[in-house]
Chains A and B, each alone.
Chain A
Amino acid sequence: MEELRLNADGERMMTLASAAAASPESLFRAHYRSLVQSLALISSGDKEAAADAVGDAFLELEQNWDRVATYEDPAAWVRRVALNRLSNQRRSLGRRARALLRLQSQRDETPKTARATDLALRNELGRLPVKQRTAVVLFYFADLSVAEVAETMGITDGSVNQHLHRARQALRGRLEVDR
């Protein structure tokens, strides 16, 4: 499908929708694992919540495939939906469930490859405001560009840079003290 878009300079350009040849299942195969991992890191290790959010996002993708397939980057759409699902879970859970999440996070599901300094990082990551944490994970773990992080989080590039800057300051400051 052809669609009309503007490039960064505001010039008109015709592009072929990149997803035309893709399918929900191929997107799932390509992105599910890394997306769950990203959301698990964002939610302080709650892999189950992350998997629920990502699973729901892919179900929505399939239900809305006719429309989403015309988007330039359907995977970005899935990321946004999954992130919003996770955010809503967090908001809706409330105090009791947050306490539960904290308890769950105490369970030792640390990957065997993790080092002692990684655990300190994990703790400090968990203390970051959620937007900072989200930006850090999407940028450093999911390897998204600033623009892609901005699109996923529904914020501006400048806000992403601000979140990353503040997060780096906080992480470095705290970890430096700990070392």
Chain B
Amino acid sequence: MISDQELRAALHRLAPDVKEAGVWEALHRKGGRRPTPTALRAGGVTKPAKSAEPAPSRKAPKTRRYVGLAAVAVIALVAVGFGVHALAEHRGRDRDVVVITDDSMSPGSATGTAPAVGSTPDTLPPVQAGDPASHRWASIVQITDNKLMDEVPYLQGDLLAWRGHDGHDYEIVLHDFATGATTQLTDNEVDDWEPKVSGSHVAWMEGPAGGPWTLQLHDLTTGATQEVANGEVNYGQYQLKGALLVWPQIADPTNNVRVLNVSTGEERTIVGWSEPSHRVHARTDGRYVLVAIGTEEGQGDLLLYDAQTAREKTIASGAITDDWRYLDDRRLADGAVVWSASDGHDEEIYLYDIASGKTTQLTHNETSDTEPEVGRGYVLWARSESLQAPGTESGAARDVILYERSSGRERLLGQGFGRLAEDGSLALWSEWPQKAENLWFYDIERDQAAYLGTPGSGASWPDTVDRFVIWYSERLGANEPTAEIMVATVALPSGTTTVSSETTIRTPRIKASSKTIDDVVDEIAAWLNDRDIDGVSVFMPSPIPTGWAIAEDGAHRGGEGGTRNPYIWKSPDASGQGAGYALTFTDGTNRLDLHVDDTGEMSERDWVDSGIASAMGENLLVLSTEEMVVVAIPNDRGIPLYVVGDPDLQEQALALARSVSERARL
């Protein structure tokens, strides 16, 4: 058994070597963030408009909320033909429920205006994403709600697979929207990762965190699971599409790329390599197999294998400096292969058309264009400042560019990480970095863009399939993080699929007054008794010094507070900050900002944790006297009360709150 002393010593041995020399000076050379490359080019950036101060919302009590939302879910899902029914319990896991969130949905604003004066001939005006509005036309369905980690969803047809933690390790879970059934495909003592679905087959990786991993294939018709890889598989480096399962296999007996036809059972080895440092990745569209063999020096080959003719062709050779660790499923789609490679100065985007056998360079510029994806008729990629430019740092701002293959024109969607649907129907982007991960989408066919929502704190990279958007939302709770699977439908207002759902957004109770302590406690009791709660806990941050009071100027950090305090805002706010609740105290000279976020913590912070908009303001009670402020934000474990003020009053409040808690338990 490891002792505390051994643990301390081991951590010191494991700590990496860090050099400090010159870093301070380098930081000062670096300075602040630079504008994005498109802004530099166009003289300004058009970012999706943000609401200055959307109304915070509240949820009904938890049990009632689920009942109510389940009813809403039925209405909503029938309306959109989504076909979700109550989810069945599955082995070894908590009961899952279907929840429709009260996230605000909005239609997009009109777009397609004439190109702005001065824009380059081959560039369309930036997409204008509309403000969130009261019109609700789409739904987010939370698939899981079991307080465990449910992550990495993969949607294909009616089947949604993900990895879910059972309290011991990750298992593979499959939900069938057609039948409403949820099935746990694995139940073992080892982690199962990154499932993918095609037809009646589900594949996943199995092995401990950090590897080694094997590749498993499950046949839904027979219920049989087989280990298909005779050796190790690199993390995430496999794909199942159509009838083809492809993966690079490491060693035993050799390094090679395998192609398995899951329908016929025929397996082929198409590429072998012996140099251990080579990075080999494989992707398929169900007929062709794309193999990238790269070296650490940024050199390598792109090979295309036709599973029908068993012919192989090298389509690019030399500098393929694209980071193939990001090799996405959508490098090969719509009869084309896309990649990024250096032209000797910076990275450009290339497209190989399989039918014609021709390669086209899509970009010729001074920026770094990387991580392309191809969907029907379009290519999407990230554009950032040249990685070769002096002083360029990693993590520079990224523009999301959408390129129309038929016209050769490109369009700026926004900043962040982009995603393109394989059928070319939707493009997504989520903001980056240091902000709430607001998710936007662009309906390519309708030429409309809109704010989809905030995926949630710690949300995963969203994906879009068949006009659905899927992701998992991680919540960093007070004790343990949880993650849940989310699916959004996208239905535009001009169609017939408008969702008619009861709004659950309400105005929180905010009462700043000169009430007595007894008044406040009475209100707390009434408020708590009006809710179905399991318990009340009490949290006392550092007491506010006597003589301090809530600031009256209202200008908390961000400057958008007007004259009101306490101040509540919900992302996205005009200042670009996250969401939260702030109290500013002052003694006339000094000031102290207290921020509350949905993790159930209150602290003195300089800035507000981002990505918490989805949970903030949903069920918030704020009561204040001249001496004390009480904030209550229910979470899954009860309702913590945050009491700020004079220590004596805090003690009174605590005692009474405990009484309330006891009554509530009874």
Contact = CB atoms under 8 A, between A and B. Distances in A.
B266 interface: no
Interface in A147-177: 151, 154-156, 159, 162-163, 168, 171-172, 175-176
B286 to A, nearest CB: 22
A176 B7 CA distance: 13
Question: What size tier do the contact residues of chain B reach?
Answer: 35 or more
B423 interface: no
Contacts of B2: 121, 171-172, 175-176
Which of B15, B461, B480 has most chain A Cβ within 10 Å? B15
Given A140-B8, A176-B1, A159 B210 contact: no
A159 B1 CA distance: 24
Interface in A108-163: 109-111, 113-115, 117-118, 121-123, 126-127, 129-131, 136-137, 140-141, 151, 154-156, 159, 162-163
A44 B157 CA distance: 36
Contact of B543 (A10, A29, A131): A10
A117 B7 CA distance: 10
Contacts of A58: 24, 27
Contact of A88 (B543, B545, B610, B647): B610
B10 A121 contact: yes
A73 B577 CA distance: 25
Contacts of B339: none
Interface string B201-216: 0000000111100000
B611 A111 contact: no
B611 A91 contact: yes
Contact of A118 (B10, B209, B543, B607): B10
Question: What size tier do the contact residues of chain A reach?
Answer: 35 or more
Nearest to A28: B24
A41 B15 contact: yes
B16 A109 contact: yes
Given A4-B587, A154-B605, A59 B474 contact: no
Contact of A10 (B32, B325, B459, B647): B647
Contacts of B301: none
Contact of A47 (B16, B461, B587, B606): B16
Nearest to A47: B16
A87 B7 CA distance: 24
A25 B23 CA distance: 11
Given A121-B10, A129-B480, A106 B211 contact: yes
B636 interface: no
A157 to B, nearest CB: 11
Given A4-B545, A92-B433, A96-B326, A41 B14 contact: yes
A103 B235 contact: yes
A96 B210 contact: no
A121 B14 contact: yes
B223 interface: no
A127 B209 contact: yes
Interface string B586-618: 010010000000000101011101110000000
Interface string B465-487: 00000000010101111000000
A94 B610 CA distance: 15
Given A91-B459, A140-B4, A6 B478 contact: no
B180 interface: no
Interface in B378-433: 394-395, 417, 430, 432-433
Contacts of A162: 479
Contacts of B437: 91-92
B457 interface: yes
A162 B587 CA distance: 35
A118 B11 CA distance: 8
Main secondary structure of the interface of A (DSSP, over half): helix
Contacts of A136: 7, 11
A75 interface: no
A114 B18 CA distance: 16
Which of A28, A89, A94, A130 has most chain B Cβ within 10 Å? A94
Nearest to A110: B14
A111 B14 contact: yes
Given A10-B543, A77-B606, A141 B12 contact: yes
B13 A92 contact: no
B236 interface: yes
B460 interface: yes
B474 A91 contact: yes
Contacts of A121: 2, 7, 10-11, 14
Interface in B173-204: none
A69 interface: no
B434 interface: yes
A91 B209 contact: no
Nearest to A162: B479
B231 interface: no
B161 interface: no
Contacts of B18: 32-33, 36-37, 40, 47, 51
Contacts of B96: none
B539 interface: yes
A143 B500 CA distance: 56
B252 interface: no
Interface of B: 1-2, 4, 7-8, 10-18, 20, 23-24, 27, 30, 32, 152, 208-211, 234-236, 323, 325-326, 328, 394-395, 417, 430, 432-434, 437, 457-461, 474, 476, 478-481, 539, 542-543, 545-547, 587, 590, 601, 603, 605-607, 609-611, 647
13 contacts: A4-B587, A33-B18, A47-B18, A55-B23, A84-B607, A95-B461, A102-B235, A111-B15, A121-B2, A130-B481, A131-B481, A141-B8, A159-B479
Ranked 5 nearest A-B pairs via Cβ: A94-B461, A154-B603, A95-B461, A37-B15, A141-B11
Given A29-B24, A103-B234, A118-B13, 12 more contacts: A45-B16, A47-B16, A85-B434, A94-B460, A96-B326, A105-B210, A109-B16, A118-B14, A140-B7, A140-B11, A141-B12, A162-B479
